[in-house]
């Protein structure tokens, strides 16, 4: 099993290729959209490249469940992800750290969950079996 | 040769405009796979002609309106040649008839072939072009009928108008991966498809409605497809290029 540092380095290479950013822009805490300017097609590209880089299959919606709350009143109240939504999110993304998001669970803040660290944590779980 | 060693896939390549496109791409050095539905003999003859001239080609029998067909054909082209640089969605049909009496089957056939077929083939190459290759050219053969309509063509006009809108929308999505998506809109071109209209009004159209005073030939369309597929077309995307001798200018010669 690769070390966390090895995983990070490969993820960084992937992001440099997919997003056309410089090596030193990619830090563990970088947000894909907010800091690295990823657009929607970039998320597909990242998944595609990670699969090749790590030789794993990443099912659609597993790493970046973007469509998870679209228009679902069970999960969102007044533009905020409610308790049910948070529970669902944690189940769908057991590799995500939701503690910051819980403090300000506005729907549009959800994309801030998509950080470099999230990808590394996801792959750690995935490769660890 | 503008397209040396590139891989092209053309639907509806056995006859008419598609055949001229296959020939033109092959002449520019591309390996050309093409799809036909029923005209096996015409397809085999075209294969022989191109091979004899030193080109590389392969005919695939498929119905573009079948959702599985595109996957099968694109999979085959990938297995043969490993990439797809150029996709030309040319296969198309008409089922003309006044709307009041239009059989829903004729609506469906036209939409399923002209629009859905284009969708299936674009879908089948998009990941390969955008994510694996990060380059590609998609060219959809539309029609001036999308905007300049004749009676009896509600189904056809709807299909081609949709192809134009789809072309623009897809161009926006794939632009960041250096895949261009354009349409070519022919006017009256001398093929089997336009035969009935030509027999009725060909002379009138050529002499009175077309500023260039002649009907178009399949080669007139193929030339623009080569432009869009080649280096000169690199910075063109999301456009519908009309190739109609000026027909759509709407002038009537006095
Ligand atoms: N001719 C014109 O004046 C004109 C004007 C504007 C736009 N266009 C457009 O240009 C394109 C080509 O037209 P054309 O005049 O060359 O037509 P055409 O002479 O009738 O040839 C049509 C070609 O498409 C193929 N095809 C038709 N339906 C198919 C299907 N379901 N699956 C696979 N292949 C299929 C045919 O294959 P088979 O030979 O096996 O039947 C043939 O190779 C069409 O999209 C048409 O709408 C033509």
Average pLDDT value over all residues in chain B: 97
Does residue B248 lie within any of the structural domains?
A: no
Does residue B250 lie within any of the structural domains?
A: no
Atom 1 in ligand 1: which residue has the minimum CA distance?
B189
ipTM score for this prediction:
0.85
A56 touches chain B (CB under 8 A): no
Looking up tokens 């998506």, which residue turns up?
A: B181
Which chain A residue has its CA at the smallest distance from B177's CA?
Answer: A41
**pLDDT tens-digit series, residues B20-30:** 999 999 999 99
Give B131 to chain A, closest Cα distance, Å: 6
Give A45 to chain B, closest Cα distance, Å: 6
On the question of pLDDT at A67 being above 90, the answer is: no
Does residue B82 lie within any of the structural domains?
A: yes
On the question of pLDDT at A115 being above 70, the answer is: yes
CATH number at residue B27: 3.40.50.720
Q: How far is CA B97 from the centre of its chain?
A: 23
Neighbours of A99 (CB within 10 A): 7
DSSP state string for A30-65? -BTTTTT---HHHHHHHHHHHHHHHT----TTTS--
Q: Which CATH class is domain A1-59+114-129?
A: mainly alpha
- Residues in B closer than 8 angstroms to A49, CB to CB, are 131
Atom 36 in ligand 1: which residue has the minimum CA distance?
B12
Residue A70's pLDDT is 79
Which chain B residue has its CA at the smallest distance from A20's CA?
Answer: B176
On the question of pLDDT at B186 being above 90, the answer is: yes
User: Which domain range does residue B93 map to?
Assistant: 7-241
| Residue B28 Cα to ligand 1 middle (Å) | 22
Domain with CATH 1.10.1200.10 in chain A: 1-59+114-129
| Residue B135 Cα to ligand 1 middle (Å) | 27
Does residue B43 lie within any of the structural domains?
A: yes
Report chain B's C-alpha Rg in angstroms.
17
Question: How many domains would you assign to chain B?
Answer: 1
B156 in catalytic set? yes
pTM: 0.95
Residue B247's pLDDT is 96
Which chain B residue has its CA at the smallest distance from A39's CA?
Answer: B176
Q: Does A39 sit within 8 Å of B131, measured CB to CB?
A: no
Does residue B246 lie within any of the structural domains?
A: no
| Residue B16 Cα to ligand 1 middle (Å) | 7
**pLDDT tens-digit series, residues B54-77:** 999 999 999 999 999 999 999 999
On the question of pLDDT at B129 being above 80, the answer is: yes
Does residue B157 lie within any of the structural domains?
A: yes
Does residue B1 lie within any of the structural domains?
A: no
Average pLDDT for B212-225: 98
Q: Does A39 sit within 8 Å of B177, measured CB to CB?
A: no
- Residues in A closer than 8 angstroms to B178, CB to CB, are none
């Amino acid at each position: 099993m690769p070390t966390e540092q090895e995983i990070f380095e490969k993820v960084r290479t992937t992001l440099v290729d997919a997003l056309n950013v410089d090596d030193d822009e990619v830090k563990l805490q970088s947000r894909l959209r907010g800091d690295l300017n990823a657009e929607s097609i970039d998320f597909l590209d990242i998944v595609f490249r990670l699969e090749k880089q790590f030789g794993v299959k990443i099912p659609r919606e597993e790493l970046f469940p973007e469509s998870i709350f679209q228009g679902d009143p069970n999960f969102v109240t007044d533009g905020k992800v409610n308790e049910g939504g948070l529970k669902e999110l944690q189940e769908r993304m057991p590799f995500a750290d939701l503690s910051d998001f819980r403090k300000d669970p506005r729907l549009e803040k959800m994309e801030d969950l998509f950080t470099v660290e999230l990808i590394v944590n996801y792959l750690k779980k995935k490769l660890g079996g | 040769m503008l397209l040396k060693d590139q891989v092209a896939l053309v639907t509806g390549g056995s006859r008419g405009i598609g055949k001229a496109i296959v020939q033109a791409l092959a002449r520019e050095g591309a390996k050309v796979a093409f799809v036909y539905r029923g005209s096996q003999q015409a397809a085999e003859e075209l294969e022989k002609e191109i091979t004899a001239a030193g080109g590389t080609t392969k005919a695939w029998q498929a119905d573009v309106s079948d959702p599985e067909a595109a996957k099968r054909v694109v999979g085959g082209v990938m297995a043969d040649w490993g990439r797809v640089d150029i996709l030309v969605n040319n296969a198309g049909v008409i089922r003309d008839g006044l709307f009041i009496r239009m059989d829903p089957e004729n609506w469906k056939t036209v939409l399923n072939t002209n629009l859905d077929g284009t969708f299936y083939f674009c879908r089948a190459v998009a990941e390969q072009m955008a994510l694996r290759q990060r380059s590609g050219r998609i060219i959809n053969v539309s029609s001036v009928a999308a905007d300049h309509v004749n009676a009896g063509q509600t189904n056809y006009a709807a299909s081609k108008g949709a192809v134009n809108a789809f072309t623009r929308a897809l161009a926006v999505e794939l632009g960041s991966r250096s895949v261009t998506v354009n349409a070519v809109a022919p006017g009256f071109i001398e093929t089997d498809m336009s035969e009935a209209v030509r027999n009725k009004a060909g002379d009138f159209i050529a002499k009175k409605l077309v500023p260039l005073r002649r009907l178009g030939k399949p080669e007139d369309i193929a030339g623009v497809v080569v432009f869009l597929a080649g280096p000169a077309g690199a910075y063109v995307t999301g456009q519908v290029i009309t190739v109609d001798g000026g027909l759509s200018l709407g002038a009537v010669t006095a």
